[in-house]
Amino acid sequence: MTLLGLLLLLVVLVIVIVAIARGDDPTRIDLEMFTVRTTFLGVFVAGALTLLIGVLGVMVLLAGMRRSRRRRSELKELRHRVDDAPTPAAPATAREHGADTDAGQRRSPPPVTGSPPPPYASGPDRGDADDSFDSAPRER
């Protein structure tokens, strides 16, 4: 396989050398709306660049497809791990520990200690109270 690759590269090298050495023949391409006048070398270079851009496009497409496939398989594996993982034991309720609670009432959350600063406080680092955003524009 390596020998075949080297042989193909050698053939391409010979074609490029011949195109450069004998590529000064004038060539005219008629595209009905306009005519392009160039040399054989110009046509060869344009074709080579087109091929290069096409190959790069295919490589980017294949890389994106590989990445998508890898992400899908990783996501599938993670989902299987979650499905197969043992479920944690349910937390013990207050009744199981013998605490006295009413059946229909919920406990209130613990009180919050400390309070955040007021949102429109003025000060050296907070700016002026008039600089803050209001829900409605003020008339001055």
Domain ranges of the chain: 14-84
Mean pLDDT, residues 59-74 taken together: 95
Percent of the residues in the chain that have a pLDDT greater than 90, as a whole number:
29
Q: Which two tokens stand for residue 122?
A: 């003025």
Q: What is the pLDDT of residue 66?
A: 95
H-run or E-run covering 49: helix 40-84
CA atoms of 73 and 44, how far apart (whole Å): 43
Ranking 7-16, 46-55, 88-97 by mean pLDDT, the lowest is: 88-97
State how far the alpha carbon of 47 is from the alpha carbons of 55, 90, 122, in Å.
12, 68, 68
Q: What is the pLDDT of residue 102?
A: 54
Pairing verdict, β 35-39 and 26-30: antiparallel
Mean pLDDT, residues 104-110 taken together: 64
CA atoms of 128 and 15, how far apart (whole Å): 75
Mean pLDDT, residues 28-49 taken together: 89
The yes-or-no verdict on residue 96 having pLDDT over 60 is: no
